[in-house]
């Protein structure tokens, strides 16, 4: 009589269906779990290079495609970092993936750095500034627009544009949003004095002191400081290459039930990364599940080339302003002196925003609204943006090559104003900042954007303003700080 062997365990129908739904395979998941486990158990070091796709495939007797998909999945999850032409490496924050941050970590504003960044244009070089060089701006079109406007009747030129802002500009913004897939009529738009004014209105309108909100980490320092100054409790969720760490976000939502999350779909500051379609859908599901609303700061959206729009997702285009409040700006493309932005929201939320505006800035300035409207409709705005795209791509590529040649690490996003650069494991960007500040120089180090210890080596470099001289100064400051240590 033959021995009876227990049947080999089979994957459940539910798990098999789930794997198929996500395009996963047992081999792919095995590689993912193996590398993830080795990172968490510290048998793979931060910054360590993984075997090439071909070498890994050969060692396991599987296809290159399966390994590449596994590496891509690990990269999307935050465990690996892909470097073009070099391979895959263990990411700086790999061991923090999925770990929730403590609420107490964001307890008070840190004004030492961000206040100086606001005035960064007073320092030589300008690498720390959040604006493009003046000679990149379309001065000719602005000058021509001002001459046209000067012929308008004085009561139109120097009065108010109404509580919502000038109707012609709101119509132009509505058309631009429509082209991006966001259906927002002029009645659902309020013009503002830049994105920071829009952020102020949103925070003041809906968030009382003591409320809890989520902010990406790293995040724009204006988000962090504005929310902390409003007496809010801040949670931070790691920003990955394609958006927030969704596992961590779900954990924060479950534990703390935040009222809102502040994020950026397109060219996030300081990382210049953009939100993937997959994560956008999942963020909206989390927002619905936990009754949370989303503020999407699209300040840098016009700096993304049209050729890349299909690879990213604007939350408002998927949500159509049901849970999303969309903030936009023209100050990055037209110049920081042109304080022009807007809020697009549902009719119910806009009503509250207008009420708050009535006791703050009261109404929008007609001159600014008319100027921006003329530039959008009759000027050369689209071509101007295309020129900026090309200039930023060229400057960004050149700076990335120089940064990597020095042994520093930076993600290649291919567009945007900034490079988010790690100066090397063990390097403290704060010490580098202190050394440079004593010399009358300024860099934008991680403490203005992040509270995470693993971000301590990072700085934000403006690709249009960071020259060889500044890179040399940073290198010298690194050397000086290492000797002092």
Encode pLDDT of 392-421 as tens digits. 999 999 999 999 999 999 989 889 999 999
Q: Judge whether 293 lies within some domain.
A: yes
Same domain, 37 and 108: no
Same domain, 351 and 464: no
Closest to 371 (Cα-Cα) out of 323, 339, 405, 327: 339
pLDDT digit string, tens, across residues 332-372: 999 888 889 999 999 999 999 988 887 766 666 778 888 99
Same domain, 174 and 295: yes
Residue 418's domain is classified under what CATH number? 3.90.1150.10
Q: Tell me what pLDDT residue 268 has.
A: 96
Same domain, 239 and 260: yes
C-alpha to C-alpha distance for 56 and 305, rounded to whole angstroms: 35
Same domain, 343 and 201: yes
- Which residues are registered as beta bridge partners of 212? 233
Q: Angle CA(118)–CA(119)–CA(121) in degrees, nearest 5?
A: 115
Same domain, 402 and 429: yes
Q: Judge whether 13 lies within some domain.
A: no
Give how far the C-alpha of residue 403 lies from the chain's centroid of Cα atoms, to the nearest Å: 21
Q: Tell me what pLDDT residue 174 has.
A: 96
C-alpha to C-alpha distance for 383 and 333, rounded to whole angstroms: 11
Instruction: Assess whether pLDDT exceeds 80 at residue 7.
Output: no
Q: Judge whether 206 lies within some domain.
A: yes
Q: Judge whether 1 lies within some domain.
A: no
- Domain end among 353, 378, 403: 378
pLDDT digit string, tens, across residues 131-151: 999 999 988 888 888 888 888
Q: How far is CA 77 from CA 58, 74, 95, 99, 204, in A?
A: 24, 5, 11, 12, 34
pLDDT digit string, tens, across residues 65-98: 889 888 888 887 788 888 867 788 898 778 777 6
What percentage of residues in the chain have a pLDDT greater than 70? 86
Residue 289's domain is classified under what CATH number? 3.40.640.10
pTM, full prediction: 0.75
Same domain, 34 and 62: yes
Alpha helices in 290-346 (DSSP H): 315-319, 331-334
Is 134 strand, coil or helix? Answer: helix
Domain that holds residue 471: 99-133+383-484
**250 within 8 A of 258, measured Cβ to Cβ:** no
Q: Judge whether 62 lies within some domain.
A: yes
Same domain, 437 and 338: no
Same domain, 150 and 237: yes
- Which residues are registered as beta bridge partners of 423? none
Number of domains in the chain: 3
Q: What is the mean pLDDT of residues 36-46?
A: 86
Within a 10 A sphere around the Cβ of 134, how many other Cβ atoms?
A: 11
Q: Judge whether 6 lies within some domain.
A: no
Q: Judge whether 175 lies within some domain.
A: yes
């Amino acid at each position: 009589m033959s021995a009876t062997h227990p049947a080999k365990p089979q994957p459940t129908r539910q798990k098999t269906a789930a794997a198929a739904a996500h395009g996963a395979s047992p081999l792919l998941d095995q590689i993912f779990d193996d590398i993830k486990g080795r990172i968490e158990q510290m048998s793979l070091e931060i910054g360590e290079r993984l075997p090439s796709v071909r070498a890994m495939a050969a060692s396991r007797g599987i296809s290159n495609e399966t390994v590449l998909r596994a590496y891509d999945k690990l990269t999307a999850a935050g465990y690996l970092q892909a470097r073009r032409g070099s391979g895959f490496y263990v990411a700086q924050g790999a061991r923090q993936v999925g770990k929730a941050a403590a609420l107490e970590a964001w307890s008070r504003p840190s004004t030492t750095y961000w206040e100086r960044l606001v005035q960064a244009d007073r320092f030589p070089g300008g690498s720390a500034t959040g604006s493009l060089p003046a000679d990149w701006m379309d001065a000719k079109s602005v000058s021509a627009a001002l001459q046209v406007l000067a012929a308008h009747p004085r009561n139109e030129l120097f009065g108010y544009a109404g509580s919502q802002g000038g109707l012609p500009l709101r119509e132009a913004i509505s058309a631009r949003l429509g082209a991006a897939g966001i259906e927002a009529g002029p009645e659902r738009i309020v013009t503002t004095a830049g994105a920071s004014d829009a952020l102020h209105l949103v925070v003041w309108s809906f968030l009382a002191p003591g409320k809890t909100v989520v902010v990406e980490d790293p995040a724009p320092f204006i988000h962090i400081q504005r929310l902390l100054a409003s007496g809010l409790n801040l949670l931070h969720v790691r920003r990955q290459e394609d958006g927030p760490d969704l596992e961590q976000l779900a954990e924060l939502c479950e534990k703390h039930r935040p009222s809102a999350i502040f994020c950026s779909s397109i060219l996030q500051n300081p990382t210049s990364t953009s939100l993937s379609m997959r994560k956008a859908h999942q963020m909206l599901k989390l927002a619905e599940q936990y009754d949370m609303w989303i503020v999407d700061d699209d300040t840098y959206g016009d700096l993304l080339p049209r050729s890349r729009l299909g690879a990213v997702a604007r939350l408002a285009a998927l949500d159509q302003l049901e849970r999303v409040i969309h903030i936009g700006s023209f100050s990055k493309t037209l110049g920081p002196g042109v304080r022009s932005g807007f809020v697009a929201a549902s009719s119910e939320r806009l009503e509250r925003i207008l009420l708050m505006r009535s006791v703050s800035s009261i109404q929008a300035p007609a001159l600014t609204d008319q100027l921006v409207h003329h530039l959008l409709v009759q000027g050369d705005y689209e071509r101007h943006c295309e020129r900026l795209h090309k200039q930023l791509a060229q400057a960004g590529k050149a700076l990335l090559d120089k940064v990597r040649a020095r042994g520093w690490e930076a993600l290649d996003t291919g567009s945007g104003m900034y490079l988010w650069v790690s100066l090397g494991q063990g390097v403290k960007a704060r010490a580098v900042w202190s050394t440079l500040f004593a010399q009358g120089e300024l860099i934008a180090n991680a403490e203005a954007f992040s509270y995470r210890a693993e971000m301590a080596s990072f700085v934000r470099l403006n690709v249009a303003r960071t020259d060889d001289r500044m890179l040399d100064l940073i290198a010298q400051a690194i050397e000086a700080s290492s000797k002092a240590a």
